[in-house]
Amino acid sequence: MTEYIPIRFLRPEESYNQVFLIGGVEFRKNTKGSYLAFHCHDVTGRIKGCIWNVDKPTLKSGDYVRIKGAIKMFRGHPKINGQADDTERLTEPPENVTDYQAGPNDSVLDVYEQELLGFIDQIDDEDIKHIVQNSLDPKRIDLLHMLRSYPYKTEGPLACRGGLLIFATQLIRTALALADSTYDIELPINRSLIIVGCLLHDIGFVANTQFTDDTWESRDSAFLFGSTATSFLMANHVCMTTESDLNIKLPEAKKLALQAICTNSSRIIESVIVTKASDFVQLSQLQRQMIQFKEPLASWDPSNNLFVGHHDQRDS
């Protein structure tokens, strides 16, 4: 992979051939022809861009696009100019996505993923195993990819790529600790149900959030249904998909219990545990002094390797 040069360090009158994350896309026409106007952005800043000889709108905000073009000064500001024939839209985000979106790097997410998979290995309920295994299958639901790609909420310390994975892992860790504390009073608890309930408890953020320009925003579905209802619908979809893919019938009681957890119902003990665990985790997030994701350069602490990007001190 060609070394990525952050926007902050792009030089006027020099040519580049690299992938940019674009936003604010507009299709325009003037006396010189038709073109796409947009801006490129990453964790170091943004720059205006223009692609000429475009017959129709082919790109949209949030696309990763390889542009071969030169940096020109326009009205006192740098601007990258390219031609349609030298432009390629990527179908998947690039490997260096953390250069474009502030948040935990892949090494940090790998640690949380391994901890999460360790919890999943503890599942001993066969019905719950079917749900989780089908959800993790990359050719089916690919739940891990979802957790690594989406935020937990649109504001706060986990409003970043991978925030959902971090929160789900912390939620399981806390919920199982609460479940273990009930051992002395011998409450009947399905630990497998707690684990899968925590996995899907906030899965609605996958459908309710989108990365627009340089921030995570709520989709229309978030305002129509809210995260709780969307998580309920997606959990129901996961159950139906599992039954269809594996040609099995899940017990109705377990499906209802899982849906109850996603809607914070207090009618079953597992729901109470997950709900209380969620309260604990969210409180700890608020109390923790963390880096502000929206200002990664100004607030970056060199001793903290949680975030990556180009924070070096080269002259601009």
Same domain, 225 and 182: yes
- The answer to whether residue 183 scores a pLDDT higher than 70 is no
User: Which of 50-59, 112-121, 252-261 is the most confident on average?
Assistant: 112-121
How high is the pLDDT of residue 2? 65
Same domain, 70 and 212: no
Q: Which of 137-151, 158-172, 201-215, 280-294 has the lowest mean pLDDT?
A: 280-294
297 compared with 20, residue with greater pLDDT: 20
With respect to residue 302, please indicate whether it lies within any of the assigned structural domains: no
**Both structure tokens of 88:** 């390629």
Same domain, 54 and 79: yes
* 277-288: average pLDDT: 78
* 129-152: average pLDDT: 93
How high is the pLDDT of residue 246? 94
DSSP letter for each residue of 205-266 = HHHHEEEETTEEEE-HHHHHTHHHHHHHHHHHHHHHHHHHHHT----HHHHHHHHHHHTT-S
C-beta separation of 200 from 258 below 8 A? yes
- The answer to whether residue 141 scores a pLDDT higher than 70 is yes
Task: Residue 159: give the domain boundaries.
Answer: 103-287
Number of domains in the chain: 2
Same domain, 83 and 137: no
- pLDDT grade for 290, boundaries at 50, 70 and 90: very low
How high is the pLDDT of residue 270? 87
With respect to residue 165, please indicate whether it lies within any of the assigned structural domains: yes
With respect to residue 303, please indicate whether it lies within any of the assigned structural domains: no
> What angle is formed at CA 63 by the lines to CA 28 and CA 218, rounded to 5 degrees?
100
| Cα separation values, 80 from 2, 15, 56, Å | 18, 9, 20
CATH number of the domain that 78 lies in?
Answer: 2.40.50.140
Nearest to 19 by CA among 37, 1, 38: 1
- Mean pLDDT, all residues of the chain: 84
* 27-34: average pLDDT: 88
With respect to residue 96, please indicate whether it lies within any of the assigned structural domains: no
* 122-138: average pLDDT: 94
Q: Residues 244-282: pLDDT tens digits?
A: 999 999 999 899 889 889 887 767 788 888 888 898 888
How high is the pLDDT of residue 288? 54
How high is the pLDDT of residue 311? 38
* Percent of the chain as helix, strand, coil, to the nearest 5: 40, 20, 35
29 beta partners: 34
Same domain, 36 and 176: no
Same domain, 30 and 163: no
How high is the pLDDT of residue 302? 38
Nearest to 296 by CA among 166, 46, 101, 20: 101
C-beta separation of 222 from 208 below 8 A? yes
* 17-39: average pLDDT: 90
Using alpha carbons only, how large is the chain's radius of gyration in Å? 23
Same domain, 258 and 186: yes
Nearest to 177 by CA among 111, 283, 276, 264: 276
Q: Do strands 45-52 and 64-74 pair parallel, antiparallel, or not at all (unpaired)?
A: unpaired
239 compared with 284, residue with greater pLDDT: 239
CATH number of the domain that 249 lies in?
Answer: 1.10.3210
50 beta partners: 37, 81
> Please, how many CA atoms are within 13 Å of residue 172, restricted to the half-sphere of its CB?
25
With respect to residue 75, please indicate whether it lies within any of the assigned structural domains: yes
% pLDDT > 70, the chain: 87
For helices 163-180 and 191-200, angle between their N-to-C axes, nearest 10 degrees:
160
How high is the pLDDT of residue 93? 84
Q: What is the pTM of this model?
A: 0.74
How high is the pLDDT of residue 243? 95
% pLDDT > 90, the chain: 48
Q: Residues 216-238: pLDDT tens digits?
A: 889 888 888 888 889 999 999 99
How high is the pLDDT of residue 289? 42
Same domain, 195 and 231: yes
How high is the pLDDT of residue 268? 79
